[in-house]
Structure 1
């Protein structure tokens, strides 16, 4: 029963973990599209109009998408191998990501001048993305809620799966209880007797056989003479 429950939890963790993979792939594709549009706009501008400020919003978007994809790979490996250390690393990273997302959300909701805290975007993609989010605010609320709940559920599933793994489980060779009988004490270590006995060959030497026969005849003659 425990193995079945463990397998179900592993499958559920992998399935929930795919939410971050889909979000990360979408962010990477959208980031590459923004980068392509920015390069196209910059190629049509003159030398004096070029702004060499780094497009931080595009790079941040791409880095966030790559990070989510890497977290998905880590979560899949941790769920498949059921390793306590991998599950712990996965839980810690997801928890830190949840704290960062909660802090950003609280700053946007509570601070009316939150846009002043970020640098200017030379590409204008941040402004376009903000307008797109405000236009479809209801859809993005559901998307953010699904992402937040998926990450929280991933942490809970990783904690539950980690509880099913024994603490002393590290490798297949940790326990030597099966080989205790093969060990010998260091003190008074007497050599074991061999299973076979080394004896004389089945055919003894002819001289030895002749001498033994003469001795037996001699003792027989003496005993017979004495008796008579």
Structure 2
């Protein structure tokens, strides 16, 4: 029963991680497309300046999501307590950062002024796309947050299950009953004394058998 539940949790955790990995790959492909467009439209002055920060941010998000996905697959496949703990911590920090960014956008009307200027214009295009498809973007954002939250929950349950199973296994090993000695090795009788003379039953039995043979 424990193995069946463990396998089910591992499969569900891998499935959720695959969703996060797909989002990470999509971010990497979007970054490649933005880079090609920027290289095509950029002037020599833009090449001499620093790389656009929005493309950097998209590349970092894609790499981070892919790395978290790999960590989650390793943790789910091995069901190692240490890997599961690291995965939970990373996912919690990522979810906390996303929540802080969303809260800043919703509560701060001048949040765009806190960002540096993007000379490539990719950030403005992305912002216009989000505004024109605000409902779809809201559903996608909610889906990402729910997937991350359920991943943390499943990792917590799997880690608890593995820890309890290991604790029960160690307890059973500590209470193994002593083994019964093999039959066919009867206990030797204790020596005794008659009239102050010490007699060993083992040698007495051998002497009697030798006399009978004679």
Q: CA deviation at 1:166?
A: 2.9
Does structure 1 residue 101 correspond to structure 2 residue 102? no
Point out the structure with max Rg over C-alpha.
1
The aligned length equals 173
From 61, 67, 70, give the equivalent of 2:67.
Answer: 70
Structure 2 regions of 5+ residues with no counterpart?
A: 167-172, 180-214
Instruction: Check 1:78–1:49 CA distance in 2 against 1; reply closer, same or farther (3 A cut).
Output: closer
From 147, 151, 154, give the equivalent of 1:150.
Answer: 147
Q: CA deviation at 1:49?
A: 6.6
In 2, are the aligned partners of 1:21 and 1:68 still within 8 Å (CA)?
yes
The alignment partner of 1:120 has SS state of coil
Aligned equivalents of 1:116 and 1:25: distance in 2?
A: 29
Match of 2:39 in 1: 39
From 67, 84, 101, give the equivalent of 1:87.
Answer: 84
The alignment partner of 1:119 has SS state of coil
Q: Deviations over 1:56-104 (max 9, x none)?
A: 1001101100110110010000000000000000000000000000000
Q: CA deviation at 1:54?
A: 2.4
Aligned equivalents of 2:144 and 2:128: distance in 1?
A: 21
From 141, 163, 169, give the equivalent of 1:166.
Answer: 163
Instruction: Check 1:56–1:48 CA distance in 2 against 1; reply closer, same or farther (3 A cut).
Output: closer
Match of 1:3 in 2: 3
The alignment partner of 1:9 has SS state of helix
Structure 1 regions of 5+ residues with no counterpart?
A: 170-175, 182-228
Aligned equivalents of 2:41 and 2:81: distance in 1?
A: 49
Structural RMSD (CA): 2.2
Question: What TM-score does the superposition give when structure 1 sets the normalisation length?
Answer: 0.71
Aligned equivalents of 2:137 and 2:149: distance in 1?
A: 18
In 2, are the aligned partners of 1:31 and 1:61 still within 8 Å (CA)?
yes
Aligned equivalents of 1:49 and 1:106: distance in 2?
A: 33
Aligned equivalents of 1:121 and 1:152: distance in 2?
A: 32
Q: CA deviation at 1:50?
A: 5.6
Q: Deviations over 1:173-210 (max 9, x none)?
A: xxx989x99xxxxxxxxxxxxxxxxxxxxxxxxxxxxx
Match of 1:218 in 2: none
Q: Which residues of 2 match residues 1-228 of structure 1 at below 5 A?
A: 1-42=1-42, 45=43, 47=44, 52-166=49-163, 169=166
Q: Looking at secondary structure, tell me which structure has more helix per residue.
A: 2
